[in-house]
Amino acid sequence: MFTGAPVRGANPVVLFVVTVLWAWLRVPEAARDTLWAEDGRDFLADSAAASAGSLWATPYAGYLHLLPRVIADAVTASVDVEQWALAMTAASCLTVGVVAVVVWACTADLMTSPSARGALALTPVLLPVVSVEVLGNVANLHWFLLWVTPWVLLHRPRTRVGVVLATLGLFVVGATEIQAVLFVPLLLWGWRDARRWPARVALLAGLVAQAVAAVSSPREEMAGAPGSLADLVTGYLVNVPAGALWADASSVGEIADGRLWLLALAALPFVAAGAWVLLRGTALQRVAAVTLLGGSVGAFAGAYLANGYHRAFYSTWGPAEWEAFSFSRYGVVPGMLLVALLPLALGVALGRRRRVAAVVLGLLLAVVTLAQVVQTGSVDGARAAGPEWTGGADAVVEQCETGQAEAVAPIAPGGPWTITLPCSYVEAHD
């Protein structure tokens, strides 16, 4: 997905290493050796039972998931069964590192400050809520692809290699993340520039494939009432600005129970940064600010309204419900987009040599970053309780040694989630 922007020197290498290590360290040690939900039950199990590449265009839950299926094929072809969980965790963290470098490269058109670009590129791994469920598994990599989409669309590739890589990257995005349709309006930006269109056509091709998959293999109807505008607004505040700043969901619940206005205030610095860009930025920078503001609200609203069984009627909650509040993964990318307004505004201020604005924005960004960093490790995540896959792999081997055709083992998050593997594969790769 690298697009041919200048990445000379050590900056992208350092950024990649820091991002991958930070992502890895944010996944609790026990969780690294835990297979998560679709990673095991669908992607790895399907790959083990089929030939490589044969399932890349096979929908799951009404959507295509190209990147997770490619990674699963690579893991089942090259990694011992007992190392699958670690391999999937590592693949996720490496992908997040690539995404960071792509964002850093693509923002060269937006701002000249390497520091501001680096801070923006690191946004996803600093967000406290990202480690609850999204980080460290391939089933949720589509969120990071959604995050990277607007940056690639706003960037103009400068070389033929950049055009090719952007084209391949955006096709992977389209064929993995159907929500990338949210950023299709950005195709109007620079629409006369022929160099931009191969990647844009590739994105559209991936999204058309998603539409075909949705029609041919429709997703199960999401049950539940639609929820009100008040539910949507309340849900946004407790999951997006709150999830961007706090790791402790119980504390957020306490604030939301009667003092929701405080969470609205928490969003104001980011909104103010976006407004400043709209006043002082170039045309491209203003488009980026509108994209971040609109994308943050739109991404949350779309996910909230499209997933009935995950929907919560936040505006009707009382003390008991807020005491049990937990963050939703649907707030992760909206939180990334909201927080990104600060480094974007800082980059604009530095580029225009607005010293006072640069100092204020720099201090705000430092405070937000410090608040996020000091909370690292305070969220165990949904996989921390196991079961660890090393024991599951041993159980699979033992079952196959008894002559069974298939072996079953539990995976996170527990309950009905299991992985079923053909013993013919297990025996061939033991």
* pLDDT tens per residue across span 271-291: 999 999 999 999 999 999 999
Please state the rounded mean pLDDT for residues 378-384.
69
Greater confidence (82 vs 380) lies with: 82
Task: Measure the CA–CA gap between 305 and 422, rounded to whole angstroms.
Answer: 38
* pLDDT tens per residue across span 337-376: 999 999 999 999 999 988 999 999 999 999 999 999 998 7
How big is the chain, counted in residues? 430
Give one DSSP letter per residue of 172-205, joined into a string: HHHTT-GGGGGGGGGGGTTTT-GGGHHHHHHHHH
Give one DSSP letter per residue of 296-308, joined into a string: HHHHHHHHHHH-G
**What is the structure's pLDDT at 29?**
87
**What is the structure's pLDDT at 224?**
64
**What is the structure's pLDDT at 422?**
97
Does 4 score more than 50 pLDDT?
A: no
Does 222 score more than 80 pLDDT?
A: no
Please state the rounded mean pLDDT for residues 187-200.
95
Element of type H or E holding 410: strand 406-410
* pLDDT tens per residue across span 301-316: 999 888 765 678 999 9
* Helices 283-306 and 141-154: angle between axes, nearest 10 degrees: 150
Give the bridge partners for 211, in sequence order.
none
CB atoms near residue 10 (< 10 Å): 9
Task: Measure the CA–CA gap between 194 and 351, rounded to whole angstroms.
Answer: 28
**What is the structure's pLDDT at 5?**
46
Q: What is the pTM assigned to this prediction?
A: 0.95
